[in-house]
Structure 1
Amino acid sequence: MKIAFIINDIKTEKKGYTTVDLALTAHRMGHEIYVIGAGELAYASDGFMTARAYIVQETKYKSAENFLKALQKSDPVTINAKDLDVLFIRNDPSDDMNDRTWAQNSPYVFGQIAMRNGVLVLNHPVTLPNSINKMYFQHFPEIIRPKTIITRDVREIEDFFKEQKSRMILKPLQGSGGKNVFLIEEKTKKNLKQIIEAISRDGYIIAQEYLPKAVDGDTRMFLMNGEPLVVNGKYAAIRRVNNNGDIRSNIHAGGHPEKAKVDDDMLRLADALRPKLIQDGMFLIGIDIVGDKLMEVNVFSPGTLNIMSKTYGVDFSKAVIQSIERKIRYKEIYGPDVNNATLAVL
C-alpha cells in the first residue's frame, strides 16, 4: 500500500506527533509512505494531483525521532496521484491561520482532486471543509453539548455571561491545543472587553457554559469508523489533567495524561455522534469529553494516540493502519461502485 500523509510542514513536525507515529507504523508494516507539506501540493495539466513528498529508505527505524530525522533530511521527490493508494489529511489548519492562510484549505482542495484521480482520501475531503473550525461541533445533538453562542458582539457575550451566572469559557472559533482559552468569572470580568478584543482579532468567539467537572480534567477519546477505537479490550482514551490550576487540559498547555475510565455516559455520547460522522465520512477523529458533555470534535489532526499506546501497552496506530488496509481491499473489489465517503468509514 502506498500512503501519503499531509502535514503542515516537515520542518515543524515533531517526534511526539501522532502523525509521525502513524507514518512510522505504516512503514514498519511494510507500506510505502510519503509525507507532504500543505504547501507542496500541485495540480498537473493532465488533471492529476501531484506533490513534492518526503520519503525514507527501507531502513528499520528504532524510534520516531530517528524516523523523523530521516524524513527531514531526505530530498523531496515528485509524486503523482497515480502513485498513491491513500491520502491521509493530517494538517492542523489553525497553525496556518496567521501567516499562511492559503495553506489552510489546500489539503482538502487537492484532496478532492486526488479522490477524483481514484485515491482513497481520509477524512472525506468534500465534507472536511465543514470542520475547519469549531462550528462543526454545533452540528451534533444539542443535548450532549454545553450551552454555547458564537459571535463577535461584546453585548451578546456580556448577556450570555449574566445568563451563565457570571461564569463562562471564551475561546476562538478556530484554534487548537488550548490556545487563547479563558475562564471568565466575577473576579475577572473587569478584563472581559480586553479578552474579547484579543480573541476577536482572529475571528469569531465561542462563549460556552462552564462545566464544574472541568476542574478534574477532560478525556480525549478516539473514534474510528464512527465508533470508539478499541484494541484488546482497551479504549483509545486518556484523561488529561492540569494540576497547575489552568482550566486547559491539553497536553500542549501543560496537561498530563492518565489512564481514563471509559464509562457508559462516554459510550452513549460517542454513539450519539456516530450518524453524523458516518454521513460525513469521518474516518479518524478525536473527541474531548467533560462529564457527560462533548467539549470538542477534532477532525483534522487529533493527537495523543501514540501516548495512549504507551499508556495501555497496545498499538492503536497499528489498528488504524489495518483499518486502512481493509478499505483498500474493499476498493480493489468494488472499484468506483463504492464512493469515498462510504469507504472512509467501513
Structure 2
Amino acid sequence: MKLAFVVNRVETEGPKFTTTVLAQRLHQRGHEVFYLDVGRLDYVRDGRVGGLGHFAPAGDYTTVDEYHEALHGNLENARPVHTDELDLIYLRNDPGEDAAERPWASSAALMFGQLATQQDTIVVNDPFGLSHALNKMYLQQFPKSVRPRTIITRRIEDIRRFAEEEGSDIILKPLLGSGGKNVFVVREDDHPNLKQIVEVIAQQGYVIAQEFMPAAAEGDIRLFLMNGSPLMVDGHYAAVHRMSAGDDIRNNLHAGGSAKKAEITPDMLRMIEMIRPKLIADGMFLVGLDIAGDRLLEINLESPGGLRGAGLLEGVDFTTPVVEALERKILCKQNYGTRISNRMIATM
C-alpha cells in the first residue's frame, strides 16, 4: 500500500514527531510512505493531485531515528507522486504554523485534499470536515457544558467587559494559532495592560477570551481519540499530563512544559461521549483533546502531537493500532470504492 503525509515542511520534520513515528511504523510493515510539502502540492492536467514525494530508501529501520536520518539523507531523490498511485493521504500539516509567513499555504492541504477524494484516494482527517474546523472556533460547536465560557472578537471593549464579568483571571489567545504562541493569562491586576495584550494577539486576527480554568493550574491532559473513541492499548490510554514550566501557563511541551502519566477520570470519559458524535460526523480520524478537569480547552485536529511521548510514559506502542486502522480503511476502500464516502471511511 502507498500512503503520503502532507506536512508543513519536510526539512523541519523531527524524529520525535507523531508523523515520523507513524511513518516509520508504516515503513516497517512494508508500505511505501511519502512526505508531501504543503507548499509544493500540485493538480495536474488529467485531474490527479499530489506533489514531490520525499521518502526513505528501502531498508530495515528499527528505530525512528534511523528512519528519520534515512528520510532526510534522501531529500534530493524525491519524485512526483499522485493520487493514481496513492491509497491514502494523511493531512498532518499545521495551518497555524504557516499563517504568518505563508498564509497562502495554510488552507492548501484542504483544497488539494478535497480534490484528492474525488480521485478515489482516502484522505484523513476528512478535508471537507476539516474545512469547518480551521481554527479554535470549532470548539464552540460542542455543548456548552464541555467547554469554557468564551468570546471571540477583535474589540477591546468586549474583552474588557468579559474580564469584568468573569471577575477573575482570563485567558487570551489567537483564534488561529498553535504551539502555545501568544497565549496569555490576564490576572485581575493586569487589566490596565489589557489593551496592549489584545493588540499583540490581534495582529494575527481574532482574539479568543476564555474563562480561566483553575484545574489548568495543575496542567492539562492531551488525550488521543481515534475514530471517535479514546485510543487505548492493553488498558493504557494514549494520554500525557502536561505541566507548565514555572509561572508559564502554557502546557505545550515545546513551550517548556514537562510531562507525566495522565489519569483519565470518569468525568472525562463522559465528556468524550458528548463530543464523539460530532467528531465522527465530521470525519475526524485522529485528534488530540486538551482537557483540564472535566472541560475541553482545545481540540487539535490537523497535527496533534505527543503520541510517542504517551507511549514512552505508558510503556506501550500506540502507533500500531493507528497504523492498523489506516490499513483497514484502505481495505474498505478497495472493497467498496465510492459506495462508502470518504467521511465515513475516515472514522470507520
Secondary structure (helix, strand or coil) at the match of 2:81 reads strand
**Mapped contact 2:57–2:71 kept (Cα < 8 A):** no
Secondary structure (helix, strand or coil) at the match of 1:149 reads strand
**Mapped contact 1:221–1:237 kept (Cα < 8 A):** yes
Match of 1:268 in 2: 270
Quote the offset at 1:36 in angstroms: 0.7
Secondary structure (helix, strand or coil) at the match of 1:206 reads strand
User: CA separation in 2, counterparts of 1:161 and 1:265?
Assistant: 28
Question: Could you list the runs of 4 or more consecutive aligned residues of structure 1 that deviate by over 2 angstroms after TM superposition?
Answer: 62-66
Q: Within 5 Å, which residues of 2 pair with 1:1-346?
A: 1-74=1-74, 75-346=77-348
Secondary structure (helix, strand or coil) at the match of 1:113 reads helix
Structure 1 vs Structure 2 CA RMSD: 1.0
Quote the offset at 1:85 in angstroms: 0.4
Quote the offset at 1:62 in angstroms: 3.4
1:34-62 CA distance string (max 9 Å, x none): 01110121001001113101011221223
1:267-290 CA distance string (max 9 Å, x none): 111111111011100000000000
Secondary structure (helix, strand or coil) at the match of 1:126 reads helix
User: CA separation in 1, counterparts of 2:72 and 2:133?
Assistant: 29
How does the TM-score come out when normalised to structure 1? 0.98
Query: How many residues are matched?
Result: 346
Using the TM superposition, name which of 86-95 and 325-334 deviates more. Answer: 325-334
Aligned residue identity for 2:2: K
Quote the offset at 1:14 in angstroms: 1.3
Aligned residue identity for 2:49: M
Using the TM superposition, name which of 195-204 and 250-259 deviates more. Answer: 250-259
User: CA separation in 2, counterparts of 1:122 and 1:50?
Assistant: 15
**Mapped contact 1:269–1:293 kept (Cα < 8 A):** yes
Aligned residue identity for 1:14: G
Secondary structure (helix, strand or coil) at the match of 2:222 reads strand
In structure 1, stretches of 5+ residues that fail to align are: none
**Mapped contact 1:51–1:80 kept (Cα < 8 A):** yes
User: CA separation in 2, counterparts of 1:240 and 1:166?
Assistant: 24
Secondary structure (helix, strand or coil) at the match of 1:146 reads coil
User: CA separation in 1, counterparts of 2:222 and 2:47?
Assistant: 40
In structure 2, stretches of 5+ residues that fail to align are: none
Using the TM superposition, name which of 2-11 and 61-70 deviates more. Answer: 61-70
Secondary structure (helix, strand or coil) at the match of 1:219 reads strand
**Mapped contact 1:234–1:312 kept (Cα < 8 A):** yes
Q: Assess, with a 3 A threshold, how the Cα gap between structure 1 residues 292 and 29 changes in structure 2: closer, same or farther.
A: same
User: CA separation in 2, counterparts of 1:50 and 1:44?
Assistant: 8
Secondary structure (helix, strand or coil) at the match of 1:158 reads helix
User: CA separation in 2, counterparts of 1:328 and 1:135?
Assistant: 31
Indicate the percent of aligned positions where both proteins have the same amino acid.
45
**Mapped contact 1:43–1:50 kept (Cα < 8 A):** yes
User: CA separation in 2, counterparts of 1:81 and 1:206?
Assistant: 38
Secondary structure (helix, strand or coil) at the match of 1:238 reads strand
